[in-house]
Amino acid sequence: MRVGVIGASGYAGAEVLRLCASHPDLDVVVASGESNAGRLVAEHVPALAGAYPSMVFEPTTNALGTELDVVFLALPHGQSQRFVPDLVTRGVMVVDLGADFRLKDASHYVTWYGEAHHAPELLASSVYGLVERHRDELAGARLIAVPGCYPTASSLALGPFVDRGLVASRGIVVNALSGASGAGRATSDRLHFSRLAGNAEAYSLVTHRHTPEIEQEIHAELIFTPHLVPVSRGMLVSAYAPITTSGFSSEDAIEVLLETYANDPFVVVSDQPPTLKDPVGSNLCFVSARVDPRTGWLLAMSSIDNLVKGAAGQAIQAWNVATGRDETLGLPLTGLTP
């Protein structure tokens, strides 16, 4: 397959390049990076020198003019909308790592992203690329909206319990920790080493754009608070929900997770709480749960690598399923330790 990676100079786009290099069916023929056009990929991301020794970043318009079978878009919000309609018309398969085609209600883009959607007619045909929850819908999909990292970790932790009516669909609280790479490659005051190191910071209080995405996916109302922590990669979610079923125990909660993910190769169910570092480098999601009988609340936990299962790995996993391939093809099932 002839692959184009648009926005390849950012963290998520570079991760797509890294994973494609190990995939037997994804041949990257062009990569764009607008601010790095004309620069060697290997110079900008030395870790990719072995796989892309002579590839040069192209301007986006040049890259999209190439004959391609599939395009992975790793662009900031709002930019994919400019290119997807033409790509779809041309018959090019699109895997969008951005938020542009995740939400089904076009009005939510005005509310949460501050601008109207420019291709609302495509929202209904896009398929949400969380394989563990949309595997059947992804078969044959031509426009895949790759979930955000926070919605991925939150939905995989909470979804099984909300789906079964075991917890209330209101009053849910999600707290999440993310490594600095989740903020992207661009620098800012809060990403400076002297501010970030030894620090932790909550941000986008009650306004984070992933809130409606999580609510749409698990069909529940919640309050979501993300936190930036001083690590490069990793994400750890702790979610809390009131239980609706009497006698529901921690053992029952683990059994629900085991049943839900029995056939999902990238979800690891553990009785032990996951750590932020467990999945780093892999496409795995670790999940666990506890029930507090004193308060009648469920604690659901998960951890992912925000750039792999939370972005590039998930994109390739969804593409594998959409094209009838083994979903694990070309993706790491093991993380890095120590």
In the chain, domain spans:
2-147+309-322, 149-305
* pLDDT score at 187: 75
Q: What is the CATH number of domain 149-305?
A: 3.30.360.10
Question: How many Cβ atoms sit within 10 Å of the Cβ of residue 278?
Answer: 21
* pLDDT score at 328: 98
Q: What average pLDDT values come out for the chain (338 residues) when binned by 10 residues? A: 97 98 98 94 98 97 95 96 97 98 97 96 98 98 98 98 98 97 83 91 96 98 98 97 97 98 98 97 98 98 98 98 98 95
Helix, strand, or coil (residue 259): helix
* pLDDT score at 190: 82
132 in Cβ contact with 261 (< 8 Å) = yes
* pLDDT score at 151: 98
Torsion angle, alpha carbons of 180, 184, 190, 195, to 10: 40
41 in Cβ contact with 17 (< 8 Å) = yes
Residues that are catalytic: 149
Q: What is the CATH number of domain 2-147+309-322?
A: 3.40.50.720
* pLDDT score at 80: 96
Q: 220-255: b or e for each residue (b if 16 or more CB lie within 10 Å)?
A: bebebebebbebebbbbbbbbbebeeeebebeebbe
